[in-house]
Structure 1
Amino acid sequence: MNRTVIALLTLVVLTTGACASKPPKKQFQRLAGEFVSPVHITKPVDQQSAVIGITIKSPAWVPNTEDRLYLVRVENERDLFEGSKLIPTSILAPPPGAGGGGTVYVQNVPPGRYAAVAFSTSEKGFGKVREVTLFLLPKTVVKQSDTTVAPGSISFMGEYEVGTSTMVLQEKAADPVQEHYFEAFWGKPLAQVIADLQMIGTPAYFAVHTVSVKQGSRDAAAEERFLAAAKRDLELSWAPVIERRRTAAK
């Protein structure tokens, strides 16, 4: 049984009783699925325009996938681990022969504080359907990626090498921060989803996983690699912003 069929069966169970009217799309679908337009690479809108980026090394980001990362907007201290304002980055389409991973950006981001909470992969399924898998980052990465963006600047959230992934339905698969962001994406608490699924048994595949991270770095070498990637990937009009950051880092 392929992933699409399993996902459809799971959705039927979770929406039992709501057949009288078409249920609204889950936030997971809106943020992580085919219903989200690509976040295109674009130009600065004015001199205050800022950009934020992060590098992820993951075997899940491979050719023929469309991948992105999700940030949380932190407006008070509680939002870091219990936030609700989620922002998708640009889509990364790894080229043929890529070893897994890449750098993604949010351009013209409002000044403020942000952290990384999840990333996704998207592969073409039947017809126009895209099979999306969401990977929830652990509390350590959410904390380490915490970054404040100043007007007219480029900010680096870090470079992270992703380790093993575990289906979120498994016992003790998620830490409390991952459980929170599961609910933020899926629209229901993880415990409730697990209870709902007990009537049919734990599925062999579920579209949300937790991941471990082997290592993360925000040192000068990692930032220089990020700035080189940004100079290559972003519109030429971002070059002065990138060069100002390079000069300040020396």
Structure 2
Amino acid sequence: MPRLTELAGKRGLVVGVANEHSIAAGCAAAFAEAGAELAMTYLDDKAKPYVQPVAEAVGATIFSPCDVRVRGQLVDLFERIEREWGELDFVLHSVAFADRDDLRTSVVNCSQEGFALAMDVSCHSFLRMAKLAAPLMTNGGCLLTVSFYGADKVVENYNLMGPVKAALEASVRYVAADLADRGIRAHAISAGPVKTRAASGIGRFDELMDAVRARTPAGRLVTIEEIGCIAAFLASDAGAPLTGSVVYADNGFHTIA
């Protein structure tokens, strides 16, 4: 990554790395390249072997389990950060989940329980992280989350995740307003489709990628490295004038009717 973004002396938390191909992994690499010290989480013992190489590659000094569905784990994570670092400069929330049966059916047919679960894991967990991070951001900071075009327009087979991501983007705006007086910024990065483990749950995702590629002005999809560069800029002091934004990292796909 060209050294246009400076994060030396800053400490950040990355939540949501599934493996080396995930968007969060691309962001972590960009943060580290820009000089940040990182904390990183893994979902559980089954996921740990896939995430640990990423943590080692970026030199993460805190590596901890975090399943936002497990009561107390998120609090434990931030208490560890407070003990070991005493401060925090930025957070990347790249967490989303929906039960497969609810995701694979139309939005009007998803269950109440499934919708609530998707909303809790994919949206409300961002609010919980913001609440826990804010007291550690004594010199201001940046809260980032990952969204998708399906929050704004209907995308075939995206189903209940469309309303959930729309709620996440609205939450970003309200968080940005709530925490502005503390110098804390918030953004959603609306990433173009990337072939990740999370995306595998979306029906006919390969067809979606082909359709997006065909309609994107440059005729190519965005990479996790490119998304990472945007995340690093937003987390840096250079991004200080920006807050409350949905930043499109999709090679211009969202501009095409």
> Relative to total residues, which structure has the larger helix share, 1 or 2?
2
The answer, yes or no, to whether TM exceeds 0.5 is no
Scaled by the length of structure 1, the TM-score of the pair is 0.24
